[in-house]
Every structure is written in structure tokens, then in C-alpha cells.
Amino acid sequence: SQAYYRALMGRKDYAVSLATALELAPDNGDVLERAAETYSIAGERQRAEEFLGKAIAHGVTAKSIQRSEYLKALKPVSQAPK
């Protein structure tokens, strides 16, 4: 996503495009996983762990998480079932 690449470049405006992506697909595991990566890159570990928990709750696998250097060290926040 655009937000992910902006965060990689150290740009602080990543949050705008991330908010748009999350608004368009709030229950999409891939979008939630990318949000977790983006927050991790930006140094927002707590938010990254929250979104990682949401991504897992929406079907993202441990294998996918382990492939990401930005996610594998995080501890996902548990999401209560709906």
C-alpha cells in the first residue's frame, strides 16, 4: 500500500493513506496485516501489535507473519470474538 512505502521512506504522511485503506477495507486481513507492518516501520509498536491482532482475527496466518521482518518480533494484541 501507499502508506507502507511512505513509512519505509520515513515520511510522516503515511497515516492519511493508511486511514483511507482501513476505511475502505476494515475487515480485510491483508489490509490489516499491512497496517501492522506500516505502524511497525513507523515505530508505533503498540498500534502495530493491535493491528496484528486484528489481522490474525481476520485470517492472516502465522506463516505470513513470519515472512515479514517487521512483524515477526511483535506480540499481537488478542482480539475478542465478535
pLDDT digits (tens, 9 = 90+) for 12-42: 999 999 999 999 999 999 999 999 999 999 9
- Looking at residue 6, its pLDDT comes to 96
- Looking at residue 3, its pLDDT comes to 95
Asked whether residue 78 carries a pLDDT value surpassing 90, the answer given is no
Q: Is the pTM of this model over 0.85?
A: yes
52, 53, 54, 59 alpha-carbon torsion, rounded to 10°: 90
Question: Which three cell numbers, joined as nine digits, stand for 79?
Answer: 482480539
Q: What is the mean pLDDT of the chain?
A: 93
Alpha carbons 20 and 73: distance in angstroms, whole number: 26
Contact 4, 34 (CB under 8 A): yes
